[in-house]
């Protein structure tokens, strides 16, 4: 068995924990948490199993002028959202870079895509759960 990259996994765990604590301050509904969980799973899928297919699809899509125009519009929309919601965007940026770091370390340690998906998903969801639980426990202690 290949060794896990514990340092990058710890960074990913802490990134998701702080993001979850940040989201807990807004008293999100279960639907909001469901969306966060779905996006977390989608990001892990994208970085492990769907990346090649997405790259091929993007290559085909960018061969036309409409594709490039749409890309420019989406990038400008993304920059606008990043500037307006700078703090939230910072959390997303840290999470994405931490997941990419873990994915690269897992690839370097010769884990296959399915194993990388399971490891990324486990540590991401564990971080979200830890942040939610710690925030929830602190709120309960504060109310007493």
User: Residue 142 pLDDT > 80, yes or no?
Assistant: no
| Domain ranges within the chain, ordered by starting residue | 6-138
CB crowding 100-139: b at 16 or more within 10 Å, else e = ebbbebbeeeebebeebbebbbebbbebbebbbeebeeee
Share of the chain above pLDDT 90, in %: 42
Mean pLDDT across the chain: 86
What DSSP state is assigned to residue 2?
A: P
**pLDDT digit string (tens) for 23-78?**
888 888 889 899 999 999 998 888 887 777 777 777 777 787 887 788 889 889 98
Cα distance between residue 47 and residue 100, in whole Å: 7
User: Residue 122 pLDDT > 90, yes or no?
Assistant: yes
User: Residue 144 pLDDT > 60, yes or no?
Assistant: no
Cα→Cα distances 104→8, 15, 48, 54, 120, Å: 10, 17, 10, 18, 11
User: Residue 126 pLDDT > 90, yes or no?
Assistant: yes
The answer to whether the beta carbons of residues 117 and 45 sit under 8 Å apart is yes
How much is the average pLDDT of 117-128?
94
3-state class percentages of the chain: helix first, strand second, coil last, to nearest 5: 85, 0, 15
């Amino acid at each position: 068995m290949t060794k896990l990259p514990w340092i990058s996994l710890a960074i990913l765990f802490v990134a998701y924990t702080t993001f979850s604590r940040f989201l807990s301050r807004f008293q999100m509904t279960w639907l909001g948490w469901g969306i966060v969980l779905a996006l977390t799973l989608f990001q892990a899928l994208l970085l492990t199993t769907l990346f090649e297919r997405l790259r091929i699809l993007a290559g085909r899509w960018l061969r036309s002028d409409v594709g490039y125009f749409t890309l420019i519009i989406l990038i400008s929309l993304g920059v606008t959202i990043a500037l307006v919601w700078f703090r939230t965007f910072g959390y997303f940026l840290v999470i994405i870079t931490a997941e990419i770091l873990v994915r690269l370390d897992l690839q370097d340690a010769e884990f296959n895509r399915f194993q990388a998906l399971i490891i990324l998903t486990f540590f991401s969801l564990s971080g979200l759960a830890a942040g939610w639980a710690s925030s929830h426990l602190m709120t309960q202690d504060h109310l007493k």
